[in-house]
Structure 1
């Protein structure tokens, strides 16, 4: 029996934002592997085995998925958002590169998904309409000094920015430092979007000037978007539109 491995993105939360391609892959799967809350989003059915695991065992999870596929199973590794954006696709390929040579002959596909960053940007308008960068503020897998360097260079380059994993109970100081760096480096009231639990019933979207941002405005369910110096706000009766023009004056 020839197995297969699909690395799929489940989108930011709403079932309507899961792509048809991912839905089809889940319908054909014999096994679904992933972080506990993401596997919980997949409905149980006869013939499907769910393999939830903790968030800090990505390489072990990847090896398990590759072993299942090499045994002839049809495996889907699930991530939220897009699997290639701070998610499981890199972990699977890391395990693949270090694993048995036979794994490289498996049928492996990566299926894209809608990221929280893109869903949040769409809710607000078009804050990522020009050049932007995405930075994971967690220092679990890289040193804080590297995060700080990238923040300062992104601010100097005047990118719009998207921040993943901004603040957790175990890392409350990182986002405090991030705001300090941005407020020192940018020195203006550019808009910052705090999008919490985007696309779910718990969704909240706040637009706050950079000069008024505080660390408690973000948690691990929040993606934070920071405008560039050219980002604009269109005020209206409801929530404002935030957008970054496609052109830059020279």
Structure 2
């Protein structure tokens, strides 16, 4: 990524620890003239001469994407930042949606998606390997999809015996939805299935808590929490250095 021609890199900053940002993303950040993203993620980028930071609110993804595309078309070197991986419930899809809806000349831009370590994978690694066999990821926010669709996907995933990773489980605006999720899981999976609450993984505020579904409470999760529910095969191995949660590689 060099020269004066404008480009966009849609980059994942990982779950929080700077050590988990990939060298590819770091190089793009160094080459950028402009950083675009949700304010808390932009705040993770150090200020320097020649770099402009464009922070915005959480619910203006398409406007943010269009702004980035406009600047790249004008010759700027733009990095659109997301936490985790930009292709997982993040900005890559928003940029391409804005691209499809925007001027035809945007389609000639150099646009690259630079992967990052997702909260889902970071949480799984901290706990052991709960995603060691087939799994699915579900965003529990109903901002962009109806709640009945969330419940349907949840029931089908439980019926298929996937391990399940949940993004955006509970917010101040949605305090009761996760209570319903736990009810559905207990009905479908029983009270003994292990559930991991991994909060602020890779930051100084990191907290991991594994409990059986029967003892899980909605207030164990917030928007900084990744929730992973095991399949029927997921095991908890107790040991002096801390328990390991893992799902075996085979299923019969």
Q: Distance in 2 between matches of 1:237 and 1:217?
A: 24
Give the one of 78, 87, 96 matched to 1:93.
96
Map 1:236-247 onto structure 2 (within 5 A): 236-247=239-250
1:179 aligns with 2:182: yes
Shift of 1:91: 0.2
1:130 aligns with 2:133: yes
Give the one of 65, 79, 83 matched to 1:62.
65
Task: Determine the structure 1 residue equivalent to 2:86.
Answer: 83
Task: Determine the structure 2 residue equivalent to 1:224.
Answer: 227
Tell me the secondary structure at the aligned position of residue 172 of structure 1. Answer: coil
Give the one of 85, 96, 105 matched to 1:102.
105
Q: Distance in 2 between matches of 1:73 and 1:164?
A: 33
Shift of 1:248: 1.0
1:161 aligns with 2:164: yes
Q: Distance in 1 between matches of 2:228 and 2:5?
A: 43
Tell me the secondary structure at the aligned position of residue 149 of structure 1. Answer: helix
Task: Determine the structure 1 residue equivalent to 2:53.
Answer: 50
Task: Determine the structure 1 residue equivalent to 2:209.
Answer: 206
Shift of 1:188: 3.7
Shift of 1:190: 1.3
Q: Distance in 2 between matches of 1:241 and 1:79?
A: 29
Residues 132-173 of structure 1 show CA distances to partners (whole Å, capped at 9, x for unaligned) of: 000000000100000000000000000000000000010011
Q: Distance in 1 between matches of 2:125 and 2:249?
A: 16
Shift of 1:237: 1.7
Shift of 1:111: 0.2
Q: Distance in 2 between matches of 1:127 and 1:188?
A: 18
Q: Distance in 2 between matches of 1:197 and 1:160?
A: 21
Q: Distance in 1 between matches of 2:84 and 2:12?
A: 5
Give the TM-score normalised by structure 1.
0.99
Shift of 1:90: 0.3
Task: Determine the structure 1 residue equivalent to 2:146.
Answer: 143
Give the one of 107, 117, 120 matched to 1:117.
120
Root-mean-square deviation (CA), in Å?
A: 0.6
Aligned length: 249
Question: What are structure 1's unaligned runs of at least 5 residues?
Answer: none
Residues 23-73 of structure 1 show CA distances to partners (whole Å, capped at 9, x for unaligned) of: 000000000000000000000000000000000000000000000000000
Question: What are structure 2's unaligned runs of at least 5 residues?
Answer: none
Shift of 1:191: 0.9
Give the TM-score normalised by structure 2.
0.98
